[in-house]
Structure 1
Amino acid sequence: MDSAMEFRLSAQQEISGEHRPLGRWLALALVFLAAIPITSLAQDEEKEWEYSLTPYLFLPIATEGTSTVAGTEADLDLDLSDVLDILDIAFATRFEARRDRFGILADLYYVSLSMDQGATLKPAVNPDLDLTATLNVDVDVRQGWLSLQGLYRAFESPVGARYPWAIDLSAGARWNYLKQEIDTNLRVDIFPGPGIQQSLGGTETWWEPVVGFRTGIEVSSCLTLVLRADVGGFGAGGDDLQWGVLVGAERAFNDRHALRFGYLFYGIDYATYRADGRFAYDIDQHGPYLAYSWKW
């Protein structure tokens, strides 16, 4: 197993408190989303929809926390090189549609990490015994989400301001996907067959409410400073809190193309129980953020 990840057995602990009702949060989010097109249609017919597609890349230079599968807790302390060594695939993009003060925002994110470790063991009781065993351990961790939020421009500076700036608020729902699975295979050379196999952990999915805030100030005709934050979870589906904060800037090349860059902080605190024990994912990450935005 990677030296940055050391498994240790821990006593199984109960998750404090009960999950808060999700229906109330989702109902509020859906009402907000449903109001967007209705309100937009009532606006000046001369206003046109504007769209943007923004693929982005998040490079976590530090990942710290714990991963728990079947009551077995693993400490995580990974740098960027550790993450890249075990990275299979990563994909993320944001889509936005806006008309005047109202809009819709969709965010899609997916990352897959895996490790495959093997070891040859000698019996501890009698090392001279001509007997060996091979232990293979496969670790598969995947995380993803798809969120849909309604946008509302709560404030916009007057036309002609020296440094134009605006504030956007958002609210909606997010569907989450989390897989933590450990597959082991123990084979002893004197016994034929595939060996002793065991699979721990699995996949969890859940819905949760999410709210967001962002502000930007134009310091020049081509450069905008940006602060963005979103918070979700609130106990829904086992996710006590999931949050992200981005501090960055946008460099516009023209009306359609722009480069976005900055520094992103992200955290999640999720826990539930499965048939084989406690299943939890509690991590904090931070690192550079890079994105390309195409507008039309």
Structure 2
Amino acid sequence: MHRLPRTLLCSVILSACLVLRAGAADLAPPPAAVEPAGAVPPAWSFRFVPYGWLIALNGTQTVRGRSAKVNASFPDIVEKSDTLVALMGNFEARRGPFALYGDLVWTRIGFESENVRTRAPAPGITTTVGRSLGLDIEMAILEVGAAYEVARSGPLALDVLGGVRYWHQKADLSFESARTVEVGDLELAGGLAFARSGSVDWLDPVIGARVRYAVAPGHELFLRGDVGGFGVGSTFSWQAVGGYGFDFGTYNGVTVSGVIGYRALSVDYAQGEGRRRYAFDMIQHGPILGVSLRW
């Protein structure tokens, strides 16, 4: 008679222990949730590329209504130019698919008469001028904009981009003053007549696309094209750049790469009429060589 209550009591105690254990488990704090790797915002990365652009020029330069045909390769400019100074660099900041970029080209180039030929004057100039002896151009081209990666397939990526390209120029065109007619608006010095443009500035909107292809780790091919102007600044401009980048190594967290390629930039700009006319209808093209610093 006494064994049954004792067995029942043990069963009740065992059940109570199980209930308390389950309740304690319910009261314990839940394990910390692990965020998927894709939810972490990507960090910014930066790239700076100082480079040299071995420029050749083909086209027409007009200063104060006097036009000159320019046809000079880079070796011509190096061999025969009395002035050749250049400063160039490219910068890009990228976060995930989004990037901001900037590019600066500044040059001062002097051409001798072998690469400059007088052309017919602009409308409003009734007589021509003597044989052109030289052309000096100081030019700055600053481009800023944004790019966005719209498609990716394995090692291949496609970016669309948009921005603005700012141009600043000064040009001096010189002639033999003894053979020059209508020199009233020209400057005379040392037997030469100079047509000086002063500062000329304009701003072009730009849209384009860029393709990047990772050939192998640390090796990338790139191709970029854009168009701009649309009558806002210049009548029209276009650019094509292609190249190859290859890593040398990483030093103190900075990846150093070499960059080789080719760049062509064309613009057709004009302002004013008659003796106030300034025009720059030119293709600038040539190899590019640079060093990329990425961190």
Q: TM-score, normalised by structure 2?
A: 0.68
Report the CA distance between 1:197 and its aligned residue: 6.8
Higher mean C-alpha displacement, 247-256 vs 51-60: 247-256
Letter in 2 for 1:179: K
Report the CA distance between 1:200 and its aligned residue: 3.2
Distance of 1:89 and 1:196 partners within structure 2: 24
Distance of 2:216 and 2:228 partners within structure 1: 33
Q: CA RMSD in A?
A: 2.9
The aligned counterpart of 2:11 is none
- What is the CA deviation profile of residues 61-90 of structure 1, one whole-angstrom value per residue up to 9, with x for unaligned ones? x42211111221111111222222244311
Q: Partner of 1:236: helix, strand, or coil?
A: coil
Alignment length, in residue pairs? 225
- What is the CA deviation profile of residues 92-129 of structure 1, one whole-angstrom value per residue up to 9, with x for unaligned ones? 11111111111210111111112588xxxxxxxxxxxx
Is 1:252 the equivalent of 2:251? no
Letter in 2 for 1:108: L
Distance of 1:201 and 1:209 partners within structure 2: 24
* Candidates 150, 172, 181, aligned match of 2:163: 172
Runs of 4+ in 1 over 3 A off after TM superposition: 43-46, 135-139, 182-187, 193-200
Report the CA distance between 1:184 and its aligned residue: 6.8
Does structure 1 conserve the Cα–Cα contact (< 8 Å) formed by 2:110 and 2:137?
Answer: yes
- What is the CA deviation profile of residues 160-204 of structure 1, one whole-angstrom value per residue up to 9, with x for unaligned ones? xxx5111111111222112112367969xxxxx988975432221
Relative to structure 1, the CA distance from residue 281 to residue 196 in structure 2 (aligned partners, 3 Å threshold; closer, same or farther) is closer
Structure number with higher helix proportion: 2
Report the CA distance between 1:206 and its aligned residue: 1.3
Q: Percent identity?
A: 30
Letter in 2 for 1:55: P
The aligned counterpart of 1:79 is 73
Is 1:220 the equivalent of 2:216? yes
Does structure 2 conserve the Cα–Cα contact (< 8 Å) formed by 1:228 and 1:245?
Answer: yes
Task: Kindly name which structure, 1 or 2, has the bigger radius of gyration based on alpha carbons.
Answer: 2
Report the CA distance between 1:282 and its aligned residue: 0.9
Distance of 1:76 and 1:95 partners within structure 2: 31
Q: TM-score, normalised by structure 1?
A: 0.67
Which structure 2 residues correspond to residues 1-296 of structure 1 after superposition, within 5 A?
46-60=41-55, 62-84=56-78, 85-115=81-111, 139-157=135-153, 164-182=155-173, 199-237=195-233, 239-254=234-249, 256-273=255-272, 276-296=275-295
Runs of 5+ consecutive residues of structure 1 not aligned to the other structure: 1-42, 118-134, 158-162, 188-192
The aligned counterpart of 1:35 is none
Distance of 1:228 and 1:280 partners within structure 2: 27
Report the CA distance between 1:275 and its aligned residue: 7.4
Distance of 2:63 and 2:293 partners within structure 1: 41
Distance of 2:161 and 2:203 partners within structure 1: 17
- What is the CA deviation profile of residues 133-164 of structure 1, one whole-angstrom value per residue up to 9, with x for unaligned ones? xx99774311212121011111122xxxxx51
Distance of 1:78 and 1:222 partners within structure 2: 36
Distance of 2:132 and 2:274 partners within structure 1: 23
Relative to structure 1, the CA distance from residue 67 to residue 258 in structure 2 (aligned partners, 3 Å threshold; closer, same or farther) is same
Structure number with higher strand proportion: 1
Does structure 2 conserve the Cα–Cα contact (< 8 Å) formed by 1:185 and 1:198?
Answer: no
